[in-house]
Amino acid sequence: MTDRIPRIAFQGERGAFSEEAAVKLLGEDIELVPRATFDALYSSISEGLADFIIAPIENTLAGSVHRSYDLLLECGLQIKREIVRPIAHYLMGIPGSSLESITLVESHPIALAQCERFFAEHPWIRRVATEDTAGSVRDIMQAGDPTQGAIAGRRAAQVYRATVLLDNLQDHYDNFTRFLLLSTDATIPEGADKLSIVVRLAHKPGTLHDALGVFAWRDLNLLKIESRPIPGCPFQYRFYLDIHASVVDPRTIGALAEIRNFADEVTILGCYPQAPPLEAEVRSKSKEAGANQ
């Protein structure tokens, strides 16, 4: 495996937002392995199809990706990196088309709904729902019709050689997705300062407060808490905790030892470098885009 270029699996079709995130993290010198579903994605490494997987875990408008949270615990992989990417929508057409020639625009229903302002300003353009943003770009390129457009991320234009007719169509500029890079490698990456764990607490009053206390008392900051139902135990929950903590810090070692007093299960999902909440590049792009409107 040492000299081979790394294979990275992602959910969706070539040109998806996840592919964009993978390239941003690992560069262009990777082998991209598109997977149809989240279940297929999370089993890519155990099936020998990939060395890494990249998965969306939360979006700033829609919230946590439930299926990703559940599979994160089941898959037994370790989080190696995280990255936050802006979700920016582009209108694309075939080479030679123009905004004036477009009368129909295809995309995933969520992407269409995030570009309401564009459709309000162009009422003659008919919107057509499809299963995938990047797949819509592939489809209009195959059709070769200058009246057809598609909405997707910029990467899809590159992959399918479509022409970008308009950028930043999205109504909201605070639309970011956080992605996790996972592998079987259990070594702690350099600069690791964020710890993700899952706890199943003893089913008695006050245990969540007690469990959070082991971090709070040590000044280890809780960054996120997410609850997910426990299958077979109606109205009981597992808690996913993201903590600003390095596993080589003695406070973290103490906290992880102490939390076992309140928890029936503690699973470490990984310790990895925390992504800056919003990258400088993202901020400046958002501003530019905002000024264009």
> Nearest distance from residue 151's CB to a copy of itself, in Å?
21
Residue 285 makes contact with a copy of itself by CB under 8 A: no
> Nearest distance from residue 38's CB to a copy of itself, in Å?
13
Single residue of 5, 36, 62, 110 touching a copy of itself by CB under 8 A: 62
Residue 234 makes contact with a copy of itself by CB under 8 A: yes
Q: Which is nearer to a copy of itself, 217 or 253 (CB)?
A: 217
Q: Which is nearer to a copy of itself, 116 or 185 (CB)?
A: 116
- What pairing do the DSSP bridges indicate for beta strands 233-244 and 194-201? antiparallel
Site for a copy of itself in 123-162 (CB under 8 A): none
Residue 213 makes contact with a copy of itself by CB under 8 A: yes
* Residue tagged 């020998």 (tokens): 48
CA distances 162 to 139, 152, 252, Å, are: 11, 11, 49
Q: Please, which residues have CB within 8 angstroms of residue 116's CB and are 6 or more apart in sequence?
A: 171
Single residue of 3, 28, 63, 293 touching a copy of itself by CB under 8 A: 63
> Nearest distance from residue 278's CB to a copy of itself, in Å?
6
Q: Which is nearer to a copy of itself, 50 or 84 (CB)?
A: 84
Residue 190 makes contact with a copy of itself by CB under 8 A: no
Q: Which is nearer to a copy of itself, 86 or 135 (CB)?
A: 86
* Residue tagged 């639309």 (tokens): 175
Residue 232 makes contact with a copy of itself by CB under 8 A: yes
Single residue of 154, 228, 251, 285 touching a copy of itself by CB under 8 A: 228
What is the b/e burial string over 183-195, where b = at least 16 CB atoms within 10 angstroms of the residue's CB?
beeeebeeebebb
Residue 250 makes contact with a copy of itself by CB under 8 A: no
* Residue tagged 């279940």 (tokens): 39
> Nearest distance from residue 208's CB to a copy of itself, in Å?
6
Instruction: Report d(CA 8, CA 125) in Å as an integer.
Output: 37
Instruction: Report d(CA 32, CA 35) in Å as an integer.
Output: 10
Instruction: Report d(CA 221, CA 126) in Å as an integer.
Output: 48
Residue 262 makes contact with a copy of itself by CB under 8 A: no
Residue 226 makes contact with a copy of itself by CB under 8 A: yes
Single residue of 108, 127, 178, 194 touching a copy of itself by CB under 8 A: 178
Q: Which residues are catalytically annotated?
A: 177, 179
Interface residue list for a copy of itself (CB under 8 A): 58-64, 66, 84, 172, 174, 176, 178, 205-206, 208-210, 212-213, 215-216, 219, 221-229, 231-235, 237, 239, 277-278
